[in-house]
């Protein structure tokens, strides 16, 4: 299930290049083009889902796979023990700008809370 006009679907298909750091049957992950931390990786499902609000009950395993990917990426990046953030924005008010769900994996520096 892909959307031809979706940037992240085009990264999944290989039409748009990305620095891919992780791939599984359900998900891929690549470095953010505008990194906000020394490690800033986006984990996305291969399946097009616009926002968290569009998730269905059958997507539970898929969402779990995004967090397992984040765990693997954090270990590979050497940020697992120091700490990192895995966060998903939903809709414009929370800062979502690409409407294909993605988990931001951020680490390699101190991260304050709450976010702005």
Q: Which residues are catalytically annotated?
A: 102
Distance (Å, whole) CA 88 – CA 97: 11
Distance (Å, whole) CA 91 – CA 44: 16
| Closest separation in Å from C-beta 63 to ligand DGP | 16
Give me the 13-52 binding string for ligand DGP, x by CB under 6 A, dash otherwise.
-----x-----------xxxxx-------x----------
| Closest separation in Å from C-beta 17 to ligand DGP | 8
Burial class (CB in 10 A: 0-12, 13-18, 19+), 114: exposed
Please identify, using beta-carbon distances, which residue of 63 and 98 lies nearer to ligand DGP.
Answer: 98
| Bridge partners for 45 per DSSP | 27
Burial class (CB in 10 A: 0-12, 13-18, 19+), 49: buried
Stretch of residues binding ligand DGP (CB under 6 A), selected from 20-28, 50-58, 66-74, 92-100: 92-100
Q: Which of residues 50-89 bind ligand DGP (CB under 6 A)?
A: 89
User: Which residues are near ligand DGP by CB under 6 A?
Assistant: 7, 18, 30-34, 42, 89, 95-98
């Amino acid at each position: 299930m892909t959307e031809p006009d979706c940037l992240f679907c085009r990264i999944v298909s290989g039409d748009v290049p990305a620095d891919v750091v992780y791939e599984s049957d359900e998900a891929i992950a690549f470095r953010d083009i505008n990194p906000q931390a020394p490690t800033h990786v986006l984990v996305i499902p291969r399946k097009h889902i616009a926002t968290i609000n569009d998730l269905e009950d059958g997507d539970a395993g898929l969402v779990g796979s995004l967090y397992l990917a984040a765990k693997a990426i954090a270990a590979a990046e050497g940020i697992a023990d120091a700490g990192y953030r895995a966060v998903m924005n939903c809709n414009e008010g929370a800062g979502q700008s690409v409407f294909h769900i993605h988990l931001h994996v951020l680490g390699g520096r101190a991260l304050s809370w709450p976010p702005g």
